[in-house]
Amino acid sequence: MKGLILSGGTGSRLRPITHTGPKQLVPVANKPVIEYAVEDLKEAGITEIGVVLGHKGREEIQEHLGDGSKYGVDITYIIQGNPLGLAHAAGTARDFVGDDDFVMYLGDNILNQGISELVDSFETGDYGAGIALQRVDDPQAFGIADVDVDGNVTQLIEKPDDPPTDLALIGIYVFSPAIFNAIERLEPSWRGEVEITDAIQLLLNEGHNIDSHTVEGWWKDTGKPEDILHANRLVLQDFDASVDGTVEGGAEISGPVELAASATIEDGAVVRGPVSIDAEATIETGTYLGPYTSVGSSCRIAGVHIENTVVVGESEITCDEKIVDSLIGRATTIGGADELLPEGRRLVVGENSDLKF
């Protein structure tokens, strides 16, 4: 069994964060989203992994994951070029996959229970494909499966107007190499993409059995800023925190706090977990860091109140303000302007930013 992580796509819904880097490297609880996929594959015993790259951010992803040895896996990069759909992305990996079965994992998805059950279930039967499903409130936004009373898949439809069920295909699939033959015969859908959902339907039409597995734990597609914040909350709510950094005498910390070895919480700062603080970050006197906040490496946070927020890294936040529900990109400065005249907010804001005062 091999693994395939799809990391093409433009990340348009995560702008401006994705103007400067791929969405798969946006951190959730201080770990880039794509690393969760690598770890899940490794945990399922899959160490030969292909990473399919688009045009955007391909150098950054290669630089970050390297040859995979730091994760105990072997990574091969496959260039998709233009993002023409998930089935197109899978099709570019045909030589890499060869005659093996493989798990296809969308590089911006996170789930908390791993993929071993899905892989084991696929391996115990004679299946053309295995799909992971979860009930959703907005089935029109996903690929949807219909299943019979015994749980056998009877139909798959991409983003249906009139969904037959609320069982969404989440972004993790297991395939036999038969999928490549189906992909070759597909036409683009109404949205101009060759859909993996249509390829699985073709396998079904041609008599292959499709395994389905309902995922009970949480799952998140991190396409939008609010999804990143939600995924951050979900990971932080059951993470194993450990304080390895420096907590000065008068600092007040409570709840689960992960503090990297070279990070500091200064005297007079208050940190209420769950909170994750990465390497070289400093939480200075007068700061309140509230639940569900992740502070990236080399950040300086001083005198501000922050809650339910992801600060990506190398940022300096020193304003006397309350910041909530925010996603703050790399190397951002947010300072006070109190002493300056004329009074008012002073902004240098990139394209596609979203500010609320």
At closest approach, how far in Å is the CB of 142 from ligand G1P?
3
229-288 binders of ligand G1P (CB under 6 A): none
Question: Residue 244 corresponds to which tokens in the numbers above?
Answer: 């390895």
At closest approach, how far in Å is the CB of 314 from ligand G1P?
29
Closest CA to 86 of 25, 158, 153, 18: 158
CA dist list (Å): 142 to 82, 109, 170, 317: 22, 13, 8, 38
Residue type, 245: G
**Residue corresponding to tokens 């007040």:** 252
Which of 131/304 has CB closer to ligand G1P? 131
28 backbone dihedrals φ, ψ, rounded to 5°: -120, 120
Instruction: Determine if 37 is a binding residue for ligand G1P (CB under 6 A).
Output: no
Which of 35/195 has CB closer to ligand G1P? 195
58-87 binders of ligand G1P (CB under 6 A): 86
At closest approach, how far in Å is the CB of 208 from ligand G1P?
18
Rounded Cα distance between 348 and 119, Å, is: 48
At closest approach, how far in Å is the CB of 53 from ligand G1P?
17
At closest approach, how far in Å is the CB of 139 from ligand G1P?
9
Which of 29/133 has CB closer to ligand G1P? 133
Among 117, 221, 307, 314, binds ligand G1P (CB under 6 A): 221
At closest approach, how far in Å is the CB of 326 from ligand G1P?
24
Q: Count other C-beta atoms under 10 Å from residue 143's C-beta.
A: 25
Closest CA to 131 of 214, 19, 42: 214
Among 4, 170, 210, 281, binds ligand G1P (CB under 6 A): 170
Rounded Cα distance between 68 and 296, Å, is: 22
Map residues 105-124 to x or -, x wherever contact with ligand G1P holds by CB under 6 A.
-x------------------
Which of 164/286 has CB closer to ligand G1P? 164
Which of 6/25 has CB closer to ligand G1P? 6
Among 8, 91, 171, 296, binds ligand G1P (CB under 6 A): 171
In the complex, residue closest to ligand G1P by CB? 143
Which of 4/106 has CB closer to ligand G1P? 106
Which of 110/271 has CB closer to ligand G1P? 110
CA dist list (Å): 4 to 114, 220, 254, 321: 15, 18, 40, 44
At closest approach, how far in Å is the CB of 236 from ligand G1P?
22
At closest approach, how far in Å is the CB of 37 from ligand G1P?
13
Which of 197/282 has CB closer to ligand G1P? 197
**Residue corresponding to tokens 């009373």:** 149
Which of 48/193 has CB closer to ligand G1P? 193
283 near 267, Cβ under 8 Å?
no
CA angle 345, 347, 351 (to 5 degrees): 145
Map residues 128-167 to x or -, x wherever contact with ligand G1P holds by CB under 6 A.
--------------xx--------------x---------
- 271-278's contacts with Cβ under 8 Å and 24+ in sequence apart are 273/236, 273/241, 274/236, 274/237, 274/239, 274/241, 275/236, 276/29, 276/30, 276/236, 276/239, 276/241, 277/30, 277/245, 278/30, 278/313
Burial level of 1, CB count in 10 A (0-12/13-18/19+)? middle
Which of 106/147 has CB closer to ligand G1P? 106
At closest approach, how far in Å is the CB of 219 from ligand G1P?
9
165 near 60, Cβ under 8 Å?
no
Say how many CA atoms lie within 13 Å of 78 toward its Cβ.
22
Question: In the complex, which residues of this chain contact ligand G1P (CB under 6 A)?
Answer: 86, 106, 142-143, 158, 168-171, 195, 197, 221
